[in-house]
Amino acid sequence: MTDRGYLRHIRSCNPPINERFVPWFIENQVVGWLRPWLVEVLQEQVAVFVVSEDRVDLAPALDSFEARSSALAAVVEWLAARELINPPMGEAYPVTPAGRQAALCIMDRSAAAYFGVRAFGQHLNGFVRKADGMYIWLGRRARDRLIYPGRLDNMVAGGLPWDVSLEENLFKECAEEAGLSENVVRQAVPVGLVSYNRVAERGYRPDVLYCYDLELSPGFTPQNTDGEVESFTLLPVAEVARIVRETDEFKLNCNLVIIDFLLRHGYIEPQEDEYLELAIGLRRPLGAGLSVTG
Amino acid sequence: MTDRGYLRHIRSCNPPINERFVPWFIENQVVGWLRPWLVEVLQEQVAVFVVSEDRVDLAPALDSFEARSSALAAVVEWLAARELINPPMGEAYPVTPAGRQAALCIMDRSAAAYFGVRAFGQHLNGFVRKADGMYIWLGRRARDRLIYPGRLDNMVAGGLPWDVSLEENLFKECAEEAGLSENVVRQAVPVGLVSYNRVAERGYRPDVLYCYDLELSPGFTPQNTDGEVESFTLLPVAEVARIVRETDEFKLNCNLVIIDFLLRHGYIEPQEDEYLELAIGLRRPLGAGLSVTG
Which domains are assigned to chain B? 7-14+119-281 (3.90.79.10), 22-112 (3.30.750.160)
Q: Which of A165, A166, A275 is nearest residue B99 as measured by Cβ atoms?
A: A275
Q: How far is A103 from chain B (nearest CA, A)?
A: 11
What average pLDDT does the segment B176-184 reach?
Answer: 97
pLDDT computed for residue B291 by the predictor: 78
Q: How far is B219 from chain A (nearest CA, A)?
A: 25
Query: Residues 6 or more apart from B239 whose CB is under 8 A from it?
Result: none
Query: Residues 6 or more apart from B268 whose CB is under 8 A from it?
Result: B6, B241, B259, B262, B275, B278
Cβ–Cβ gap B270/A98 under 8 Å: no
**What single letter denotes the amino acid at residue B168?**
E
CB < 8 Å to B276, chain A = 98-99, 193, 195, 208
pLDDT computed for residue B82 by the predictor: 96
**Gap between the Cα atoms of B235 and B230, Å rounded:** 16
Proportion of chain A above pLDDT 90, given as a percent: 93
At A204-259, the pLDDT tens digits run 999 999 999 999 999 999 999 999 999 999 999 999 999 999 999 999 999 999 99
**Gap between the Cα atoms of B119 and B95, Å rounded:** 9
Beta-ladder partners of A205:
A198
Cβ–Cβ gap A279/B195 under 8 Å: yes
The answer to whether A275 contacts chain B (CB < 8 Å) is: yes
| Positions of E strands within chain B | 22-26, 29-34, 49-51, 56-58, 92-95, 105-108, 119-130, 133-141, 152-154, 156-159, 189-199, 204-215, 229-236
Cβ–Cβ gap B192/A263 under 8 Å: yes
At A102-113, the pLDDT tens digits run 999 999 999 999
Choose among B2, B41, B3: nearest CA to B22: B41
The answer to whether B47 contacts chain A (CB < 8 Å) is: no
User: Which residues 112-151 of B are in CB contact (within 8 Å) with A?
Assistant: none
pLDDT computed for residue A288 by the predictor: 86
What average pLDDT does the segment A3-30 reach?
Answer: 95
What average pLDDT does the segment B160-171 reach?
Answer: 96
DSSP character at residue A230: E
Q: Is A221 left (phi over 0), alpha (psi -120 to 50) or beta?
A: beta
**Gap between the Cα atoms of A123 and A141, Å rounded:** 14
At B67-76, the pLDDT tens digits run 999 999 999 9
Q: How far is CA B11 from CA A177, B284, B285, in A?
A: 40, 11, 14
CB < 8 Å to A134, chain B = none
Q: Strand B22-26 vs strand A229-236: parallel, antiparallel, or unpaired?
A: unpaired
Residue of B nearest to A276 (CA): B99
Which of B29, B160, B267, B275 should we substitute to test contact with A (largest number of A Cβ atoms within 10 Å)? B275
pLDDT computed for residue B293 by the predictor: 63
Residue of B nearest to A288 (CA): B285
**Gap between the Cα atoms of A232 and A177, Å rounded:** 10
At A78-93, the pLDDT tens digits run 999 999 999 999 999 9
Proportion of chain B above pLDDT 90, given as a percent: 94
Cβ–Cβ gap B191/A266 under 8 Å: yes
pLDDT computed for residue B67 by the predictor: 98
pLDDT(A2) > 70: no
Tally C-beta pairs within 8 A across A and B.
89
Q: How far is CA B34 from CA B16, B21, B27, B103, B205, in A?
A: 16, 5, 17, 18, 10
Q: Which of B210, B265, B273 is nearest residue A99 as measured by Cβ atoms?
A: B273
pLDDT computed for residue B146 by the predictor: 85
User: How long, in residues, is chain A?
Assistant: 294
pLDDT computed for residue B1 by the predictor: 45
Which of B280, B286, B291, B293 should we substitute to test contact with A (largest number of A Cβ atoms within 10 Å)? B280
pLDDT(B292) > 80: no
What average pLDDT does the segment B239-246 reach?
Answer: 98
Q: How far is A282 from chain B (nearest CA, A)?
A: 9
pLDDT(B2) > 80: no
CB < 8 Å to B191, chain A = 263-266
Residue of A nearest to B273 (CA): A101
pLDDT(B287) > 60: yes
User: Which residues 6-45 of B are in CB contact (within 8 Å) with A?
Assistant: none
User: Which residues 63-122 of B are in CB contact (within 8 Å) with A?
Assistant: 98-99, 101-102
Q: What is the mean pLDDT of chain A?
A: 95
ipTM of predicted complex? 0.95
Cβ–Cβ gap A276/B190 under 8 Å: no
Quickly state the pLDDT bin for B224 (edges 50, 70, 90). very high
CB < 8 Å to A270, chain B = 166, 190, 193, 210
Q: Where are the alpha helices (DSSP H) in chain A?
A: 7-13, 36-42, 65-81, 109-112, 166-178, 182-185, 237-246, 252-264, 275-281
pLDDT computed for residue A293 by the predictor: 63
**Gap between the Cα atoms of A181 and A184, Å rounded:** 5
CB < 8 Å to B264, chain A = 191-192, 264
What average pLDDT does the segment B138-149 reach?
Answer: 92
pLDDT computed for residue A238 by the predictor: 98
CB < 8 Å to A167, chain B = 271
At A36-70, the pLDDT tens digits run 999 999 999 999 999 998 999 999 999 999 999 99
pLDDT(B294) > 60: no
At A113-157, the pLDDT tens digits run 999 999 999 999 999 999 999 999 999 999 998 889 999 999 999
Q: How far is A191 from chain B (nearest CA, A)?
A: 4
CB < 8 Å to B265, chain A = 189, 191
The answer to whether B286 contacts chain A (CB < 8 Å) is: yes
Which of A125, A262, A283, A291 should we substitute to test contact with B (largest number of B Cβ atoms within 10 Å)? A283
Largest CA distance in chain A: 66
